[in-house]
Amino acid sequence: MIIKRYAENALRIIFGNQIDMEVHEQVRRAFFLLLSLQLNDIKEIIPSFCACLVIYDDDLTSYDPLAELLRERLADLSAVELPPPQVHEIPVHYGGDYGPDLSFVAGHCRLSAAEVIERHCAETYTVFTVGFTPGFPYLGTLDESIAAPRLETPRTRVPAGSVGIAQRQTGIYPFESPAGWRIIGRTDVRLFDPARHPYSLMQIGDKVRFIEER
């Protein structure tokens, strides 16, 4: 674990430099441990694949004492109490207007559309992080045989619920938004609702399975 300063009121706690389940497990443990400490001087904790970003209130603390405190508290991550990961089953309409890039992915991977769908549904994915837009789950790890590059030029708008692929990741766009991933399908499941608690359907460490809806 390395702690590095990022801005006047922000630091990064770094556990690795590539997408990896072991690194993810450490990030997740660190995140839930930090939450449980309920430190007043921490305003935001943003876990991602390899690191936690901590934004702090510099009226209440400063980098040196906070970094020291974090080093001490995060030294042992083995005893952290973790919430049991939820498993989400996500029905998806694949292809056609729902998934305009399904045929590209199939062509790129030299597979039939049905094989791409089958392989996309075969895996149980892990939510590595949630971001980009509220509730967007970055899911891994995608079967290498159906990995596809991002779009050269992102689309300016895709509909809410669009399911995309980018390299070894897959994800779901909770809102109508710009999108650079290859869209292979769409779900009716609502991933984020600002009027409902918890706001985001998914959080770091949850598991996801896709089910083809015909």
CB 84 within 8 A of CB 204: no
Instruction: Please pick, from the candidates 30, 33, 39, 52, the single residue that binds another protein as defined by CB under 8 A.
Output: 52
Q: How far apart are CA 152 and CA 96, in angstroms?
A: 21
**N-to-C CA span, the chain:** 46
Does residue number 208 form part of the binding site for another protein (CB under 8 A)? no
Binding residues among 64-123 for another protein as defined by CB under 8 A: none
Choose one: 11-19, 73-81, 113-121, 181-189; the region binding another protein (CB under 8 A): 11-19
Cross-strand pairs, 10: 7, 55
Q: How far apart are CA 191 and CA 200, in angstroms?
A: 6
Q: Which residue lies nearer to another protein by CB, 94 or 132? A: 132
Binding residues among 113-172 for another protein as defined by CB under 8 A: 129-136, 138
If binding means CB under 8 A, how many residues of this protein chain bind another protein? 46
Sign of torsion over alpha carbons 155, 160, 165, 166:
positive
Does residue number 44 form part of the binding site for another protein (CB under 8 A)? yes
Residues 6+ apart with CB under 8 A from 152: none
Choose one: 48-56, 64-72, 83-91, 118-126; the region binding another protein (CB under 8 A): 48-56
Q: How far apart are CA 101 and CA 94, in angstroms?
A: 10
Site of interaction with another protein (CB under 8 A): 4-10, 12, 17-19, 31, 43-53, 55, 58, 129-136, 138, 174-175, 177, 192, 194-195, 198-200, 202-204
